[in-house]
Chains A and B, each alone.
Chain A
Amino acid sequence: MTNFLISSKYLITALATSLLLTACGGSSSSLSSRDTELNIAATEVIDNTIIPAAQRFREQSKALVDQSQLFCAASNTTEENLMTLKTQWITTNLAWFELLPYRFGPMINSEILPTYLFIDYHRQRGNNATDTVRNNIDTLITSNTEAEYNLTLSRIGASGVGLLALEVLIFEDAENQSLASADIIAEFNNNSRKCQLLLDIGNKLLSRADDVHQGWTTNYRNTGKSYRNLVVNNQLEEIFDDEAGESAIKKIMVSLQEFYDYLAKRNITSNVAQLSSSTWLALEHSLKTTEELLNGAKSTSISINAIMMNNRFEQTVENINTHIETLRTAIEEQNITDMKAAAATLDGNFKRDIPDALNINLGLNFSDGD
């Protein structure tokens, strides 16, 4: 059970973290104690949850490329290696669903061609691009020349790459959309373009995963500075003309709200991770990262829940815990209606109840326009 009370350990850690922020070039001295507390909590969410999730996704994407290379090496297209490859795709997708709720900063990079779109096209507005992916694969693996293949590959947009394209390549054969391992292996053996494409699409995914991880940790949009430091030190608006300089805690809350809105409104369970039959498992992982966001990780000194409790919003925390349990049950039972309803409730929690309990405003116009 997480202890929500602020202990002396917290106060010492908070002071240290505050000093750390200042040392990083931050402006914590100008913040109120409330803002400082929220900024510490947001910083810990970034350090303990978001960046590790970005790192895991990067590592799993790399492992997927490595497994693809291993599978495609001479005489390695065995059923056992295909199973390993399939398992690795699922693991990579689960890592993605732990990161997906944090769709801001390095997940975006460009408003017109956001990075996440090249990883998960469905996230944008729930469009199922499976047919597009299949058509692209058919065209590419039947290319007559290397030049033709490269030209086609260079013209493929966000809808034709990412996790979905890799899933289609790994879990079915292009010829007949057969799910049988023997058919898939036979196609890899008979058509070298398929392995070539698997590696090319895999490397494109890895490149995006690298962008996200490096953006959070070392170099956001070629500034030579990490998004982590830019956002917690409130420097985004100062450096960029096209970035909203809102606090880290607000960006996190809006992002989570948008994620649950996405779960509630789009048909994820019938569109995403269908060939691998791993959608519900992926949703479990998103829920896990939400719980960590609210409760804090092992090394967290002040969690979002702790701040809400200290602000005397115990009932809000209790309600949200109940809603999380409802969602967990719906996921376990694979009940689409209940899952969407529970996600809609959590959407409302992140839009109104949690900001109220944290005493932050996500925006009057944002939430209450006319």
Chain B
Amino acid sequence: MKDYYRVIIGGEAGYGVMTSGSLLSKLAASSGLHVFDYVEYPSLIRGGHNAYEAVFSRSPISDLVGEVDLLVCFNKDTYDRHKDELGSGAIVMYDPDEFDLEAHNHVLVPVPFRSILKEGNGSFMMKNTVLMGALSAILSADINWMYASLEKQFGKKGKAIVELNKKFVKQGYDYAQKQAGNKAIPLLSSETKDSAQLIMTGNDAFSLGCVIAGCQLYAAYPMTPASSVLATLAAWQEKAGMIVRHSEDEIAVINTALGASFAGVRSAVGTSGGGFALMTESVSLAGITETPLVIFLSQRPGPATGLPTWTEQGDLLFAVHAGHGEFPKIVLAPGDNEEMIALTTRAFDLADVYQTPVIVLSDMLLSEHHSTIARETVTSFANKYKPNRGKLITTADANYLRYGPSEDGISKRLVPGQKGVYFQANSYTHSSDGHTSELSKDRIEQVDKRAAKMSTYIKNDFLLPHMSEDIEKKKTVLVSWGGAKGAVKQAIRLLGTEGEHVGHMHFHHLYPLSEEKIKPLFADGVRYVLVENNSQAQFGQLLRQQTGVHLSERLLKYNGRPIHAEEIIQFIQKS
């Protein structure tokens, strides 16, 4: 069979599409497969069309690729929307109690979810339980995995509930097995696993990054697609020794985090574009008071409320320019879960070292899609990680100057509370001791001091983009940042030997950029294609502004959907 297998589960919102989807992804990951899943859903709780899409693969996978091999239709609408994506010989599972289908080149597996539940006195909401049984049969999974999962999920509700669910799993399993006969796919039959696999979203990875970094306060106001960080960290707060606060608005969120950071604890906030817009005055406050802060900004298509549950990389220039006045700021953008963990922890270090706001950019695709990562990768990173708190001090003498001069622009930052000393963090232009000053001398000294931090950053901590091996030999180089990384990587994988001349340059330290270090990476005679999930080539603009490098060939997508590997291949092959 082929290397990867693509599944869609679709239906009306509110009937368990997402629940079944996450469970199926987990089941596939437990069989040792690589998983990439993505959920499309409208901004409402009931009705509308929800679709879970996943690719299960024997080799690494970072985008949805290929024709659909298995389509589960909770309603007729799902079939109509996705039938053109079906490959020949694809399996279509549906409920014959709801609608009829005629077989074209497909294997039809009718499973009467409704009748099974009715006869067994189950609630309509248990459709996904029957479905998981049926999917286990179709994909040749061990039914005991589902049994164990039910015990974990419903164990606290008592044996009767567990048994009822098990019964429906078994019925779905038996029914589908009979229907599919020898057409069942040997995809999820147990394999030997090299190492334990984790399956998580980018928001989960950010949350783990916060815990690894020793973040002690996270404040947020719910906003898609950043909301699940708030829920995840809130659930962990006791275990992790954190304070997770849902404040009254985003302005309170960022100011609370700044207060906590001033008082000495690592602090972060999370939001999407609209919430970040409310925070911007305080981003500037973080800049002048030199208070460390990590800001998680998960983008969705704007302007204003925009497309709340869809994806875009449309807030890069906003993030870069957010805040009035001139002050140092660092913008990082991970492209996958491993990078999310690494850059999140790094963001806390950079915020502490440079005593300034650091933005971690995500987008709905990265924040909400699940993918697999080896547990060992996460734990070994966590074990090696040592927080760098920069010039944070806990004792100082009476002559302590909070904003004292220093060549690298970074002054010592005292944790408030030490006896015999005190200082002021000041929103106004101040002298080196923190007192308000309107003297030209103080103004220039402090502006220069803060600006020096960025020169120090470029010298010590700016990191070059990830580049494919032998990039100097490539004829075509795809340039990406953030969430577009997966599609570009997958495009190169799909190209196989044809892709030998195609390279990848992936930027993750987005702002500030170093002209001196970046410019030499671009060679004459190479075809550079900028790949961005926005309409204005925002990274292209930033690159040109900061380094003078101008990339004129651009693949831009801004319909709210992620960029896909196949579109990238088409783009580079068309000319």
Q: Is B one of A's binding partners?
A: no
A interface residues, Cβ below 8 angstroms from B = none
Taking Cβ atoms with an 8 Å cutoff, the residues of B that contact A are none
